[in-house]
Amino acid sequence: MTDREEANLAGIFPSVPQQERAQQKRLALLESGRELFIEKGYEQTTAKEIAAHAGVATGTFYRYFSDKRQLFMSLMEDQMDKLMPPEPDWLNVDPENFLASLLADHYRQLDKLGLHRVLPEILPRDSELAEVLAEARRKIHSRIHRGLIHIREKGLTWNDLDLDSVSWAVMVLVEKIPEKEADSGKKADLSEIAKIICRLVFPPGLLKN
């Protein structure tokens, strides 16, 4: 890394620490920002509060980040893959249980990270971030779509369904799980959701064979 390393989303940082102690301060700022964004919301969190929470001076914040948006974008760059829906393995010996396990791991990780709770506040006013997330979703969709084409070639999925639409349906079902939990006030049954997805993909009888 150079002192003016350019990141795709976060942009050019004022400086990038080289010494371990300075690196720890930067990491503390990132973690404090993450916690405060989740706790207070993005707009209600200031750079001064992030610095105080991290136990450093406000000037230290601006040594490593231009503003709180750059800090947030740095978090997003580091964790983008964790925010995206997992890619099913349709050829797994037990795709239904494997998908349920994938979903459990994904949402356990997502809950621990927490950044998805901040996105509804930021996305309507940050077109750059919205487009980056949209592109990440398109890539996941493309991989799911390719996987479905592969199993169709093996005669393992429906011949009369548009696989592009099936791919998006799978993504929407997975992405709406937190919303379902918020609306119902109870945890989603991931095994049931995995069953629904697999029944959308596989004709009757195939999962038993």
Do 96 and 159 have their domain in common?
yes
pLDDT band at 2 (very low <50, low <70, confident <90, very high): very low
Do 53 and 141 have their domain in common?
no
Phi, psi of 58 (to 5 degrees): -60, -35
Q: Which two tokens stand for residue 204?
A: 């009757």
Do 171 and 94 have their domain in common?
yes
CATH number at residue 13: 1.10.10.60
Environment class of residue 154 by beta-carbon count within 10 Å: exposed (0-12), middle (13-18) or buried (19+)?
exposed
Do 204 and 107 have their domain in common?
yes
| Pairwise CA distance, residues 109 & 123, whole Å | 21
**Does residue 39 carry a pLDDT above 50?**
yes
What is the three-class DSSP state of 14?
Answer: coil
DSSP assignment letter at 86: P
Residue 101 lies in a domain: yes
CB 104 within 8 A of CB 113: no
Q: Which domain holds residue 169?
A: 84-208
The pTM for the full model equals 0.84
CB 171 within 8 A of CB 143: no
Q: Which two tokens stand for residue 176?
A: 């709406």
Do 117 and 200 have their domain in common?
yes
Do 64 and 95 have their domain in common?
no
For 89-99, what is each residue's pLDDT tens digit? Answer: 999 999 999 99
- pLDDT at position 13: 92
CATH number at residue 182: 1.10.357
Distances (CA, A) of 201 to 89, 93, 105: 12, 15, 21
Do 149 and 93 have their domain in common?
yes
CB 37 within 8 A of CB 72: yes
For 132-177, what is each residue's pLDDT tens digit? Answer: 999 999 999 999 999 999 999 999 999 999 999 999 999 999 999 9
Do 114 and 167 have their domain in common?
yes
